[in-house]
Amino acid sequence: MVHVDPSNANAAPDVHQVEFNTIASSFGGLATRVSQMHKYLYRIGAYGDAPYINEFSLPDNPALTGLADGLAEGHKAYGEGVVSKEIAILFLVQDGERNTFDQRSLEYSILERYNIKSYRITFSEIPLLTTLHHTTRALLYHPPQRPCTSSPIEISTVYFRAGYDPSDYLSPQSWTSRAHIERSRAIKCPTILTQLAGSKKIQQVLAAPALPSSSATFSTKSFTLPTFLPHASPETIVKLERTFAKIYPLDTSPLGLQAREIALDPALAMGYVLKPQREGGGNNIYKSKIPAFLSSIPEDHWSGYILMELIVTPGRVRNMVLRNGEAMEGEVVGELGVYGVCLWDAAAGKDEVGWVKVNKEAGWLLRTKGSGSEEGGVAAGFGCVDSVVLVD
């Protein structure tokens, strides 16, 4: 999101990173469709003579094909089946999945572009419909509609659209199911380690600043980031650090204790948001609500949250959004997400040339929400999928 320093009226707008999502990054299919819709509306004259909207200012969003290409790369890297001649991709989805149309468009694209089949099962169906081969650890899918005597389907790549929410792990069997997938030789999108790498706590550690001189003012200089970029120049490190919103722990470390002082002060807390280790939107605590919320939960639970500086967006604009069949007009702000595809061979080791097989951008997601809404999640009911307009 674009951020302006509220303490400096003359500061130029900057780009600030909100978060990383490394599991179930959704709406790639819908983002592409919305981009196509807006270009269609332009071509039929729905936008009148708006000078900033033209054939070139509405770029095609390649998110759908980019994400399909990424899953196809995983399928290709898996190679020949070791147990079955029929190989496919498996989508793990939540019970009562509401985002089916977005996911289906990705399945169709994989089939149309690469002739690769994909199947869907819920997270709770893992022990019912899949097995591990006893020697090769191949993940085998047994479609319920097929006779039990028929050959199973070997899974090349598991795409997690579930497994990120506490509701997915309500029993010991749920954890056994996750371990079952992780133990398989199938390529995982993501692995459990990749999922954890996208957690709020890891983001906080990467952006961890040097100790502040006062409880109200923090330095933005990271002491962790250079560890992971040992060959980057100091100038590059500074540029990356500038994209980080300030994030602090709420543990009992010196930095955490000073962050607690801010979080418990009603005036200082107005510039922050409290985030749990959750995905999917709708779980954050904002501004003046933070002190009372912390006081309502046991103190030994505080370390499960991070404290993040609020992003202050400049120059709100008026626009109209369509949600649940209703057109609403008012001030809006946007949040831009960039999809990416990364495939690596962990067994090769990071010192081996070519251990990263694929690493590329894969389109984008623009979410628009009302300026009065603190949350931005689309599925959670706060934002809408949008498309970008390029202007000079």
Q: Which residue has the higher pLDDT, 129 or 232?
A: 129
Q: What predicted TM-score, i.e. pTM, was given to this entire model?
A: 0.88
Q: Both tokens of residue 291?
A: 């002190």
| Residue 287 structural domain | 208-243+246-309
Burial-class residue 92 by CB neighbours within 10 Å (0-12, 13-18, 19+): buried
Are 19 and 200 in contact by the 8 Å Cβ rule? The answer is yes
* Residue 113 annotated in ligand binding: no
* Residue 282 annotated in ligand binding: yes
* Residue 45 annotated in ligand binding: no
* Residue 81 annotated in ligand binding: no
pLDDT at 281 exceeding the cut of 70 = no
Alpha-carbon span 253 to 249, nearest angstrom: 8
**Residue carrying structure tokens 């983002």:** 31
* Residue 37 annotated in ligand binding: no
Helix (H, G, I), strand (E, B) or coil at 323: strand
Same domain, 157 and 218: no
pLDDT at 379 exceeding the cut of 80 = no
Start-to-end CA span in the chain (Å): 19
Average pLDDT over residues 47-60: 90
* Residue 330 annotated in ligand binding: no
Looking at the domain assignment, is residue 12 inside a domain? no
Last residue within a domain, chosen from 286, 309, 332: 309
Looking at the domain assignment, is residue 20 inside a domain? no
Neighbours of 280 (CB within 10 A): 16
Residue 376: pLDDT band (50, 70, 90) is very low
* Residue 277 annotated in ligand binding: yes
DSSP 263-316: HH-TTGGGGEEEEES--SSS--EETTHHHHHHHHS-GGGGGGEEEEEPP---S-
* Residue 287 annotated in ligand binding: no
* Residue 279 annotated in ligand binding: yes
* Residue 335 annotated in ligand binding: yes
Neighbours of 282 (CB within 10 A): 11
* Residue 99 annotated in ligand binding: no
* Residue 308 annotated in ligand binding: yes
* Residue 280 annotated in ligand binding: yes
* Residue 103 annotated in ligand binding: yes
What's the pLDDT at 221? Answer: 56
Give the bridge partners for 120, in sequence order.
Answer: 91
Looking at the domain assignment, is residue 148 inside a domain? yes
Alpha-carbon span 14 to 11, nearest angstrom: 9
Same domain, 289 and 349: no
Average pLDDT over residues 141-155: 87
CATH number for the domain including 230? Answer: 3.30.1490.50
Share the mean pLDDT of the chain.
88
Average pLDDT over residues 185-210: 87
* Residue 283 annotated in ligand binding: yes
Are 63 and 339 in contact by the 8 Å Cβ rule? The answer is yes
Same domain, 217 and 298: yes
Of the candidates 336, 306, 344, the residue with the CA atom closest to the CA atom of residue 190: 344
Average pLDDT over residues 199-214: 70
* Residue 211 annotated in ligand binding: no
Alpha-carbon span 255 to 260, nearest angstrom: 9
pLDDT at 289 exceeding the cut of 50 = yes
Looking at the domain assignment, is residue 15 inside a domain? no
Last residue within a domain, chosen from 309, 328, 347: 309
Q: Both tokens of residue 286?
A: 């904002």
Same domain, 185 and 227: no
* Residue 104 annotated in ligand binding: no
CATH number for the domain including 189? Answer: 3.40.50.1760
